[in-house]
């Protein structure tokens, strides 16, 4: 099964963005990005 974390990692690598840069852009820690990519934690969206 394909999850959002895999897509984040795929696109991040495609555009040569580090976890740290993505985390800064999203105002989260790089550890959060890592956990999303590995499936340890899921993204939570607030609309």
| Domain enclosing residue 30, as ranges | 4-38
* Residue 28 backbone class (left: φ over 0; alpha: ψ -120 to 50; beta: rest): beta
Whether residue 47 lies inside any domain: the answer is no
Q: What is the pLDDT of residue 12?
A: 97
Q: What's the pLDDT at 10?
A: 96
Q: Is residue 23 part of a domain?
A: yes
Is residue 44, in this structure, part of any structural domain at all? no
Assess if residue 45 is contained within a domain: no
Number of separate domains in the chain: 1
- Nearest-10 crossing angle of helices 30-38, 19-26: 110
Q: How far, in Å, CA of 35 to CA of 47, rounded?
A: 22
Digit-coded pLDDT (tens) for 1-47: 568 899 999 999 999 999 999 999 999 999 999 999 998 876 666 65
CB atoms inside a 10 Å sphere around CB 31: 12
Q: Distance from first CA to last CA of the chain, Å, rounded?
A: 26
- What pLDDT sits at residue 39? 85
Q: Locate 39 and state its tokens.
A: 């499936």
Model pTM score: 0.79
Q: What is the per-residue pLDDT for 44?
A: 67
């Amino acid at each position: 099964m394909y999850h959002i974390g895999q897509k984040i990692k795929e696109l991040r690598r495609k555009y040569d963005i580090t976890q740290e840069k993505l985390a800064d852009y999203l105002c989260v820690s790089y550890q959060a990005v890592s956990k999303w990519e590995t499936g340890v934690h899921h993204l939570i969206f607030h609309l």
